[in-house]
Amino acid sequence: MRIGKLRVLLEQYGEATLRDLLVEMYRHTPKDVIDDQDFDFMISQYTRYKEKKNSEERHSLSQTITLAERFVDSAYEHLYIRPNQVMSERDQKNWYIHAKKIIRDLAHYAEEYTEARTMYEEMFYLLSTSAGEEPLFSTSDPFRLLKISQVTMLKQLIHYYQLDAPIDTVWIDRALYTALHVPKDVDSTRIDLLSTLPIEHSHANTRKILHSRLLKLCDRMLEKSQTEDTALENYQALKMLELRLLVAEGNLKEAEQKLFAEYIPFFSHRSEPFRVYVDFLESHGHTSETKRLKRIAKEKRIRF
């Protein structure tokens, strides 16, 4: 019986039946198998057993970097989607299994080692490229297949940017550039990607630097919007990030003024920035302001 089928079958049983089933299987398992597979340790301390197994299965740092580099190079050479003598059909089909293990191991080492952080970024850009720009795998939704969102992975990457940066300006610029220019996958918007910047838990000076960078980028994108289609989308997303920044700083009066004067006019559907703003207020505990804005929405017939 395959593991997937076994899981489905076990979900049908209650706790008492599962307990009896486990005891019965243990009773019929040869003692040498119990000792070899460390069944007693697994049953008595399952969490520690899993940690031990994961540690044993994890590759070393150098092995992980080598595997990651090979994976990235193979993908860009289209070895996972074109018939070739290097990659078997099985490996082409199961690319996501290798990718998941590589990402897991890179994340394990990334807190301490720069090279792991660099390769994590390479993997993120590879998956993003395949999702939104150039098919490199058998699916157009690689993040879905890996069961990890692009937003979640970018949030982790920005954390690594912070670890590498000597000053806040460096990681802020890197984060803004990545969030603005990386190809989007089917489940992400540019607003979602920019929302990964850690505003709420940043120092006042960090938010000041970010605000300054945002204003310059907004001016640049607004100017480009006359000739570039994506520039307007980027401008809208940057304005939403500024809105979030103003809410985090408690500048609700300025935020509301800008909402109606600068944000809504640049959206074809005015409900979108309004909804985002109300969500920001609600997430920061501004209950009375949230209720007031909802009343305004009804008066102005804004559906969100």
**What averages of pLDDT result for each successive group of 10 residues across the chain (304 residues)?**
66 75 76 65 64 66 96 97 91 93 96 97 98 91 94 98 96 97 94 91 90 93 86 89 88 86 67 78 85 83 70
CA 147 – CA 265 distance, rounded (Å): 36
Letter for the amino acid at 134?
E
Model confidence over 194-250: pLDDT tens digits? 999 998 878 889 999 999 999 999 999 989 988 888 898 898 889 889 988 988 888
Please tell me the distance from the alpha carbon of residue 66 to that of residue 72, in angstroms, as a whole number. 10
Q: What is the full DSSP assignment across 171-189?
A: HHHHHHHHHHHSPP-TT--
Dihedral sign computed on CA atoms, order 144, 146, 147, 150 = negative
What is the Cα 87 distance to its own chain's centre?
28
Whole-model pTM: value is 0.77
Residues 6+ apart with CB under 8 A from 161: 170, 171, 174, 175, 178
